[in-house]
Amino acid sequence: MLSGHGCFGKYLHQIAGREPTPRCHHCPETNDSVAHTIFDCPAWEAERRPIANSTGIDASSLAEVISKILQSEESWKALHDFSEHVMATKENAEREREADPASAPLRRRRAGRRRRIFIRQA
Ligand SMILES: [Zn+2]
């Protein structure tokens, strides 16, 4: 999620070429990015709350979020859970758009499943 590679309008439009615009499919925002997903998108407000509670509610930049998650395991887990849930939801929505024959002709199917890397706790 933090790399910006994945189901973000900006990535799907500019890098992957699978979307005709970088818009968010979950709210009216015209530029869906990592920062939009973590901080602003109203679609993830409930999922965002545990991050705010564990990192301090005013984290407003990616650098600040990264700093917070490196300071506490609770913060790390909160961002991990947020990322898993939100990215899975966004990926499912992308698959539904891909399967819809009426969707934009520019869209190309994704090459494979997102590779999941988990850091397991000892
Ligand atoms: Zn949005």
Query: pLDDT per position in the chain (122 positions), as tens?
Result: 888 888 999 999 999 999 999 999 999 999 999 999 999 999 999 998 887 777 664 567 888 888 888 998 988 998 999 999 999 999 999 999 888 877 655 555 555 555 555 555 55
For 23, 111, 117, the CA distances from 58, given in Å and listed in that order, are: 25, 37, 28
The per-residue pLDDT for 104 is: 54
Closest-CA residue to 36 (of 3, 69, 6, 10): 10
Whole-number Å distance, alpha carbon 121 to ligand 1 midpoint, is 32
Whole-number Å distance, alpha carbon 96 to ligand 1 midpoint, is 17
Distance, CA of 12 to CA of 110 (rounded, Å): 10
Number of H helices and E strands in the chain, helices first, is 5, 0
Whole-number Å distance, alpha carbon 94 to ligand 1 midpoint, is 14
- CB-based contact 49:22 (threshold 8 Å): no
Give the predicted TM-score (pTM) of the model. Answer: 0.78
